[in-house]
Amino acid sequence: MTRKQRTSIRRTDPATALAFIALGLAGCMGPARGTPQNTYALTEGHPEVEKSIADRDLENKFVLVGTRTERRDNRLHIQFELKNTTGADLAIEWEIEWRDAGGFVIDTARHWTPAVVGGGGVEPIQETAPVPEAIGFKLRIRKSTPVR
Q: What is the CATH number of the domain that holds 61?
A: 2.60.40.3230
Give the pLDDT score at 146: 72
pTM over 0.75: no
For residue 99, being part of any structural domain is answered with yes
CB 142 within 8 A of CB 35: yes
In the chain, alpha helices (H): 3-10, 14-26, 56-61
CA distance 10 to 112: 38
pLDDT by residue (tens digit) across 26-49?
A: 333 444 556 899 999 999 988 889
Q: CA quadruple 135, 43, 31, 82: dihedral positive or negative?
A: positive
The residues with which 117 forms a beta bridge, in sequence order, are 90
- Using 50, 70 and 90 to split pLDDT, how confident is the model at 148? low
For residue 21, being part of any structural domain is answered with no
Give the pLDDT score at 13: 55
| CA-to-CA dists, residue 72 to 76, 78, 130, angstroms | 6, 10, 12
For residue 102, being part of any structural domain is answered with yes
